Amino acid sequence: MMSSYQTRRKFLATIAFLLAGILPATAQERRVYVPPSLDSVHAISAEHGMVVAQEKISAQVGADILRRGGNAVDAAVATGFAMAVTYPRAGNIGGGGFMVIHSAERKEAVAIDYRETAPAATTANIFLGDDGRPDIAKSRDSALGIGIPGTVAGLALALEKYGSGQFTLAELLQPAIALARDGFVISDDMADTLPSWHRRLARWPSSAKIFSRPDGTPLREDDRLVQSDLAETLMAIAAQGPRGFYEGPVAEKLAKAISDAGGIITSDDLRSYRAVIREPVRGTYRGHDIVSMPQPSSGGIVLVETLNILEGFPLSDLKQGSPASLHLLIEAMKRAYADRARYLGDPAYVRAPIQTLIAKDYADRLRAGIKADSATPSREIVAAATPPREGSNTTHYSVVDSRGNAVSNTYTLNFSYGVGLVAEGTGVLLNNELDDFTAAVGASNAYGLVGYEANLPGPGKRPLSSMSPTIVLRDGKPVLVTGSPGGSRIISSVLQVIVNVLDYKMDVAAAVAAPRLHHQWLPDEVRMERGFSDDAINELKRLGHAIGGTMEQTSANSIAVTPNGPLGAPDPRTRGAEAAGQ
Ligand code: GLY
């Protein structure tokens, strides 16, 4: 039997959790996106290269590297480190992510997996409470949810293998070091997020002192954010490479801070971390090649599976945003997301039938089950398990250079500001990525969602992700670089950008700005942004689709590559997103 303390704790955790779901965390996230008239939005052009990111200063840092002769990978590395300073809610060195690179110079595409891993002491039941049920406070709000950060290893590996050779890691770190040491003025966009996340950050004095004013209240717009410890940590990386982070004083401070907060990451865990170069997931769609992220992200597989289903429909004959087109998108998403839930996880631990899932004939079979005149109830698609909720405060940036190289990078701390813990003396804000594991097979979590076996926690394991950094090629050359934050909504967002560009021939800015919808199989409901016509919504209802709440925020910062140069589309859903060209 549960003690009254346990009952109260669970009750409070449940209330906090439900509030987090009902009351989106920040003013930024609360702001409902109202799409502009699509005729009025136009992409931003550049002559040579471009960085499109969710934060202005860092986009400009990357563009400056391009201007100085760097390639897209050099620029992506500089932008990634700069965002760890200027965009602390998702840019990071305390989290992880995925980078897809098209290297024109080497005529190859690769995926860099720098997803966080679970510490060696992780057990399958680590996120269960005493009652054997998932305890969300453990995976989301405690140091047990911290995965071993992968960003430093990932960005360094990308540079070592695919950088131009014109810049050292230390040189690319200089802008981030200066921004952390000298500080920068907080934008309206960042200021929006702090009031609602500050209490979570302020659980730890090491975090509170960075993100608070002298009177203890959250920093505000136009305040200066100085991160001296973070500057020192970045300098250690500049001096020693990744060893400056994963070994020595920084690693010792990270391990101590995590242990003091009740986590189980050790110095050995940090020393053992490795980023991995993987073969990307590849597909084709209407004469284009799709190159995207393989497991441990579900992104590329679900994207290619969905595109394969859609390829058999004459989408361009149906008006963009018309009920017939939306119906097909929803039905295709539903089927691919069902497979995500059943099969996918860390490839070191699960043997998913990837080649089947991304095969054209498999899509043919799924397509045959789609009815033009009615929605298929999700329960009829497959009686498997339900995907858990994923953190959505990730960030995506796209980079192209004048040499034909392209980088698509998505990285994250999971929740905004991760678990909220800045490791004392390091300035490193830590993730709560291990919440992306499924806490228990067959057990309901606080949302009544059921988990699945492929994604249970395990030592050294990488939790399943939805991040989908993607590059679309035509005749071997990049034509579109895209990706998005947004948890499970990432894949559907990337899908709609691609369909809008390839099927509907939309200007990339309009393709990104157009209202989006999302169906992830379960719950069996469509989430829609504002901007769809009432007629379309009513027709979807008539076809049997349940329309749920508003689709939460995504931000597909994309670049179209044209013979006349890159066209940037910073997503208008996020203030501060920037296309910086050269
Ligand atoms: N934490 C969100 C994701 O990896 O998809």
Distance from residue 297's CA to the centre of ligand 1 (Å): 8
Distance from residue 46's CA to the centre of ligand 1 (Å): 31
Per-residue pLDDT of the chain (582 residues), as tens digits, is 333 333 343 433 333 333 333 333 444 445 689 999 999 999 999 999 999 999 999 999 999 999 999 999 999 999 999 999 999 999 999 999 999 999 998 999 999 999 999 999 999 999 999 998 889 999 999 999 999 999 999 999 999 999 999 999 999 999 999 999 999 999 999 999 999 999 999 999 999 999 999 999 999 999 999 999 999 999 999 999 999 999 999 999 999 999 999 999 999 999 999 999 999 999 999 999 999 999 999 999 999 999 999 999 999 999 999 999 999 999 999 999 989 888 888 999 888 899 999 999 999 999 999 999 999 999 999 744 454 555 568 999 999 999 999 999 999 999 999 999 999 999 999 999 999 998 887 543 333 233 467 889 999 999 999 999 999 999 999 999 999 999 889 999 999 999 999 999 999 999 999 999 999 998 899 999 999 999 999 999 999 999 998 998 899 999 999 999 999 999 999 989 999 999
Catalytic residues: 394
For ligand 1, what atom is nearest to the CA of residue 414? 1
Contacts of 23 (CB under 8 A, 6+ apart): 30
CB 169 within 8 A of CB 159: yes
Of 163, 220, 230, nearest in space to 189 by CA: 220
Distance from residue 495's CA to the centre of ligand 1 (Å): 17
Q: How far is Cα 344 from Cα 564, in angstroms, rounded to an integer?
A: 40
The set of protein residues with a Cβ atom below 6 angstroms from ligand 1 is 390-391, 394, 412, 414, 433, 436, 465-467, 487
Question: Ligand 1 pocket check: which of 411, 433, 462, 492 to mutate, most ligand atoms within 8 Å of Cβ?
Answer: 433
Q: How far is Cα 473 from Cα 291, in angstroms, rounded to an integer?
A: 8
The model scores a pTM over 0.85: yes
Pairing type for strands 50-53 and 578-581 reads antiparallel
For ligand 1, what atom is nearest to the CA of residue 115? 4
The maximal CA–CA distance of the chain, rounded, in angstroms, is 69
* Alpha helix ranges (H) inside 514-571: 534-542
Question: Ligand 1 pocket check: which of 99, 140, 394, 468 to mutate, most ligand atoms within 8 Å of Cβ?
Answer: 394
Contacts of 332 (CB under 8 A, 6+ apart): 306, 309, 310, 366, 367, 370
pLDDT of residue 350: 86
Contacts of the segment 102-109: beta carbons below 8 A, 24+ positions apart? 102/291, 102/404, 102/405, 102/406, 102/407, 102/471, 102/473, 102/478, 103/73, 103/162, 103/405, 104/403, 104/404, 104/405, 104/477, 105/71, 105/403, 105/405, 106/162, 107/476, 109/280, 109/282, 109/291, 109/471
Distance from residue 158's CA to the centre of ligand 1 (Å): 20
For ligand 1, what atom is nearest to the CA of residue 467? 5
Q: How far is Cα 256 from Cα 75, in angstroms, rounded to an integer?
A: 33
pLDDT of residue 392: 60
For ligand 1, what atom is nearest to the CA of residue 392? 2
3-state secondary structure 229-279: HHHHHHHHHHHHCCHHHHCHHHHHHHHHHHHHCCCCCCHHHHHHCCCEEEC
pLDDT of residue 407: 98
Distance from residue 350's CA to the centre of ligand 1 (Å): 18
Alpha carbon of 209 to those of 127, 217, 219, 319, 424: distances in Å?
30, 10, 10, 53, 10
Question: Ligand 1 pocket check: which of 139, 409, 466, 491 to mutate, most ligand atoms within 8 Å of Cβ?
Answer: 466
Question: Ligand 1 pocket check: which of 114, 395, 430, 436 to mutate, most ligand atoms within 8 Å of Cβ?
Answer: 436
Q: How far is Cα 467 from Cα 280, in angstroms, rounded to an integer?
A: 13
Three-class secondary structure of residue 559 per DSSP: strand
For ligand 1, what atom is nearest to the CA of residue 464? 4
Q: Can you say how many angstroms the Cα of residue 210 is from the centroid of all Cα atoms in its chain?
A: 25
Q: How far is Cα 488 from Cα 494, in angstroms, rounded to an integer?
A: 11
For ligand 1, what atom is nearest to the CA of residue 466? 5
Distance from residue 269's CA to the centre of ligand 1 (Å): 21
Pairing type for strands 565-569 and 558-562 reads antiparallel
pLDDT of residue 341: 82
Of 151, 153, 150, 161, nearest in space to 71 by CA: 161
Q: How far is Cα 432 from Cα 455, in angstroms, rounded to an integer?
A: 16
Distance from residue 412's CA to the centre of ligand 1 (Å): 7
Q: Supply the residue whose CA is at minimum distance from atom 4 of ligand 1.
A: 465
Query: Which runs of E-coded beta strand occur in 420-552?
Result: 422-423, 428-429, 470-474, 477-482, 517-518, 526-528, 547-550
CB 457 within 8 A of CB 127: yes
Q: Supply the residue whose CA is at minimum distance from atom 3 of ligand 1.
A: 465
Q: Supply the residue whose CA is at minimum distance from atom 1 of ligand 1.
A: 414
Three-class secondary structure of residue 510 per DSSP: helix
CB 160 within 8 A of CB 104: no
Three-class secondary structure of residue 308 per DSSP: helix
pLDDT of residue 389: 54
Cβ atoms within 10 Å, residue 461: 23
